[in-house]
């Protein structure tokens, strides 16, 4: 019997609220099927299941706040017997014999010990059910204070009784974070942070506290890319036309595949490259906030598929219907502010990723072509990268590779 657990939808997530089951016990589920909706700091996220099988039963009621890693449902694998029938194998062979039919809906006691410890339903739906394993030791007051100020407890050293994090430790961390970002602390500004703001604050403060960023910039002549794109779009209806953003995304994805030190996660003191390239696309949300969900395997998608994936992602992000894997999976992020007139942007890396590529506006500039000066469309691509995982030399080659791709768009 498999367990479907609350997934982690980002490094800073401790718990989520189950808001909807999209399946019911007895339903067969396929790998990748969306089975539930979970409310997190980032909004409502659709959660996929990765174990095919049949939903045996729910372990958590709708409305319950559940820590990451806690089982939400039992999933019976293919060919696995029902829990209540999980008796000798002769039961199966003798199924045709004139036995009293299946001992139907008697509520079953889950057989495996780790499951048995889980309450079948939460008596207090709003309460956190159990502490997450490995969670930081912190006083209730410190925990609440940290939450109000978007401080990630995992990044705060504890000096209280038993090494627990106390309020004073959070205050010290706040002071430190304020100094590092050279910005007034949220407290001083007095902004009432909503949940997403708090999540961004926690992630970005942690990034600037922990990640030694370095920044590079590279300008690329996109004449060839624009020309190629015009030809590509000429025969297409407006709804399926490809934008320059998709071309850049593809160029970044392919370069990331070639330079693995920019594609992966820095965790527990070391960098681990990801074999797949899932590009997070920074999408601004109306009314404030942003989120950078992943386009999976962007390096191998065709340019049309990439474009339609982007459209779909933007639509669902603004509609608040993202999937869990899209939140948790990005291995590198691309942020673009060109359509807002910005020529170059330097991103803050979203931990545990190690790089973010910024794309500016395409501007027409005097450009040296051969020995002449010509007016050329130029875009500035920037890289913010984690110096723990890569060096500037590699960063320069990575950016140059992106530029080369844009200059030879037909090879994309």
Partner 1 sequence: MPAQAAEAGTVEVSYRDAVREAIRDALRRDKRVFLMGEDVGRYGGCYAVSKGLLAEFGPDRIRDTPLSESGFTGAGIGAAMAGMRPIVELMTVNFSLLALDQILNTAATIRHMSGNQFGVPLVIRLATGGGRQLAAQHSHSLEGWYAHIPGIKVLAPATLEDARGMLWTALEDPDPVLIFENIMLYNMIGTLAPGAGPVDIAKAAIRRPGKDVTLITYGGSLWKTLEAAGQLAAEGIDAEVIDLRCLRPLDDQTFVASVARTRRAVIVDEGWRSGSISAEIMARIVEQAFYQLDAPVGRVCSAEVPIPYARHLEQAALPRVLGIVAAAKAVLGRS
Q: Give catalytic residues, as residue numbers.
A: 387
Residue with smaller CB distance to partner 1, 163 or 275? 163
Least distance between partner 1 and beta carbon 132 (Å): 18
How far from 234 is each of 49, 237, 289, 357, CA to CA, in Å? 40, 8, 36, 29
Residue (149 or 257) nearer to partner 1, CB: 149
For partner 1, give the closer residue by CB, 128 or 243. 128
In the range 123-162, which residues lie near partner 1 by CB under 8 A?
A: 139-142, 144, 159-162
Near partner 1 in 206-225, by CB under 8 A? none
From 67, 166, 203, 351, residue interacting with partner 1 (rule: CB under 8 A): 166
Minimum gap (Å) between residue 170 Cβ and partner 1: 10
From the list 165-173, 310-318, 370-378, 391-399, the region that binds partner 1 by CB under 8 A is: 165-173
Report the b/e string of 327-359 with b at 16+ CB within 10 A.
bbbbbbbbbbbbeeeebbbebbbbbbbbbbbbb
Contacts of 158 (CB under 8 A, 6+ apart): 136, 137, 138, 164, 165, 166, 169
- What's the closest the beta carbon of residue 149 comes to partner 1, in angstroms? 15
Closest separation in Å from C-beta 143 to partner 1: 8
Give which of 353, 347, 332 is closest to 277, Cα–Cα: 332
| Nearest residue (CB) to partner 1, 107 versus 162 | 162
> In the complex with partner 1, which residue's Cβ is closer, 52 or 147?
147
Number of residues that bind partner 1 (CB under 8 A): 13
- In the complex, minimum distance from the CB of residue 133 to partner 1, in angstroms, rounded to a whole number: 21
Separation of alpha carbons 180 and 209, rounded Å: 7
Q: Which is nearer to partner 1, 113 or 162 (CB)?
A: 162
Strands 294-295 and 372-386: unpaired
Residue 138: CB minimum distance to partner 1, A: 9
Q: Give DSSP secondary structure letters for 74-118.
A: EEEPTTPPPGGG-S-THHHHGGGSS-----TTPPPPP-SHHHHTS
Q: Which residue has the tokens 């396929």?
A: 30
The dihedrals phi and psi of 118, each to the nearest 5 degrees, come to -90, 130
The contact set with partner 1 (CB under 8 A) reads: 139-142, 144, 159-162, 164, 166-168
């Amino acid at each position: 019997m498999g367990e479907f657990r609350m997934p982690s939808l980002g490094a800073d997530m401790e718990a989520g609220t189950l808001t909807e089951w999209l399946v019911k016990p007895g339903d067969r589920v396929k790998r990748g099927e969306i089975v539930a909706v979970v409310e997190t700091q980032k909004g409502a996220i659709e959660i996929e299941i990765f174990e095919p099988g049949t939903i045996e039963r729910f372990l958590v009621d709708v409305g319950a706040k559940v820590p990451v890693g806690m089982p939400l449902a039992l999933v019976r694998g293919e060919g696995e017997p029902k829990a209540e029938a999980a008796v000798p194998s002769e039961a199966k062979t003798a199924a045709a014999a004139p036995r009293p039919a299946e001992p139907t809906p008697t509520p079953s006691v889950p057989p495996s010990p780790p499951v048995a410890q889980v309450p079948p339903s939460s008596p207090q739906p709003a309460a956190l059910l159990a502490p997450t394993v490995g969670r930081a030791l912190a006083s209730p007051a410190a925990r609440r204070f940290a939450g109000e100020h978007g401080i990630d407890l995992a990044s705060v050293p504890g000096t209280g009784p038993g090494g627990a994090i106390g309020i004073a430790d959070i205050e010290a961390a706040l002071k430190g974070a304020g100094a590092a970002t050279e910005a007034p602390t949220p407290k001083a500004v007095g902004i009432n942070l909503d949940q997403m703001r708090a999540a961004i604050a926690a992630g970005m403060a942690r990034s600037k506290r922990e990640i030694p960023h370095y920044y590079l910039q590279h300008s690329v002549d996109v004449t060839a890319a624009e020309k190629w794109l015009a030809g590509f779009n000429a025969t297409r209806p407006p709804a399926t036309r490809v934008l320059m953003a998709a071309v850049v995304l593809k160029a970044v994805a392919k370069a990331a595949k070639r330079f693995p030190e920019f594609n992966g996660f820095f965790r527990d003191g070391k960098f681990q490259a990801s074999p797949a390239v899932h590009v997070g696309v920074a999408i601004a949300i109306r009314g404030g906030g942003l989120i950078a969900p992943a386009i999976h395997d962007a390096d191998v998608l065709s340019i049309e598929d990439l474009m339609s994936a982007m459209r779909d992602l933007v639509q669902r992000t603004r509609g608040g219907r993202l999937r869990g894997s899209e939140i948790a999976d990005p291995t590198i992020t691309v942020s673009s502010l060109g359509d807002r007139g910005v020529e170059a942007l330097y991103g803050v890396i979203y931990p545990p990723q190690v790089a973010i590529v910024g794309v500016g506006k395409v501007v027409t500039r005097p450009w040296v072509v051969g020995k002449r000066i010509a007016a050329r469309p130029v875009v500035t691509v920037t890289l913010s990268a984690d110096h723990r995982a890569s060096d500037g030399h590699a960063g320069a080659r990575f950016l140059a590779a992106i530029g080369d791709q844009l200059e030879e768009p037909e090879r994309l």
